[in-house]
Amino acid sequence: MRERPAIELSLRSILVLTGASIAGLIMLLWPLFFQPAPDQTRVDQPFIFIALLPIIVLVVLAELSEGGMDSKALAMLGVLTAINAALRPVGAGTAGIELVFFLLILGGRVFGPGFGFVLGCTSLFASALLTGGVGPWLPFQMLCSAWIGMFAGLLPKRPRGKAEIAMLVAYGIVAAYAFGLIMNFTSWPFTLGIAIPGETDSLSMVPGDSPWANLQRFFVFTALTSLWGWDTGRAITNAVTIIVLGPAVLATLRRAARRARYLPAEVSDTSETR
């Protein structure tokens, strides 16, 4: 029996997912490419992005769930979302300790990229409701977490055992730093404000300056605010949880996937944990 994802992606779903990801990147990276008018004396952040991004995410979720998610996948999504929502307050992000991502990575790995994308959205949304973390940053967190789950489902399928755990640990570290880096784009202009064009002695966004110049300021801002604390702590948390809990969780999820007929019956538990 051929292995299949928990959420089947049609051509239309792939196009919608790709378009939403491109739109999300544009909304995140706008500070690098914003060009004010020559006579413009004031620059405001495009708050319209905060209103548009939830709509885009909802459209993608509706497209992925329409005819592509059966009752078994929905039940598994509910279980993993509830677990992630319960795990997130344990660390509450202190020093980068985030327990929500390792299960997101393992879920995307076993159930496929479509499931991983939806799980990233629902996990962050549910945990935000539970912890009171609802704010203008939430849609961006949902999208970035959805990307983490989606790309985990796109990792090579062949590695198993220790090679698979090593691959997932490496991915978890990269995902931790990427999440922090991308999310900083949502706070950089708001935290430091927007500098007046021509003032280059600060780390603020300078409208109309070259993308590379603004990117340099952004990298310094990231290094000073999150790289060595939050992002590194998140990377360590992902690595440790995947090493310690990864084999057992993967075996459990694959057993559930086989019973739901998402994985071939001939894939044994022993081959997954060697």
178 located within any domain: yes
d(C-alpha 161, C-alpha 138), whole Å: 35
1 located within any domain: no
What does the pLDDT average to over 214-235?
81
- Taking Cα atoms as reference points, which of 120, 124, 102 lies closest to residue 241? 102
Query: For residue 106, what pLDDT is reported?
Result: 93
- Taking Cα atoms as reference points, which of 180, 198, 182, 183 lies closest to residue 43? 198
Q: Which region, left, alpha or beta, applies to residue 111 given φ > 0 means left and ψ of -120 to 50 means alpha?
A: alpha
Q: Which of 49-53, 86-90, 176-180 has the highest mean pLDDT?
A: 176-180
Query: For residue 184, what pLDDT is reported?
Result: 84
Query: For residue 256, what pLDDT is reported?
Result: 82
* Chain mean pLDDT for the chain: 76
- Domain at 146, CATH number: 1.10.1760.20
Query: For residue 43, what pLDDT is reported?
Result: 53
Q: Which of 59-73, 94-108, 184-198, 256-270 has the highest mean pLDDT?
A: 94-108
Domain that holds residue 152: 11-34+45-273
d(C-alpha 202, C-alpha 206), whole Å: 9
Query: For residue 91, what pLDDT is reported?
Result: 61
pTM of the full predicted structure?
0.77
5 located within any domain: no
Query: For residue 271, what pLDDT is reported?
Result: 44
Under a CB-based contact definition with an 8 Å cutoff, are residues 57 and 20 in contact? yes
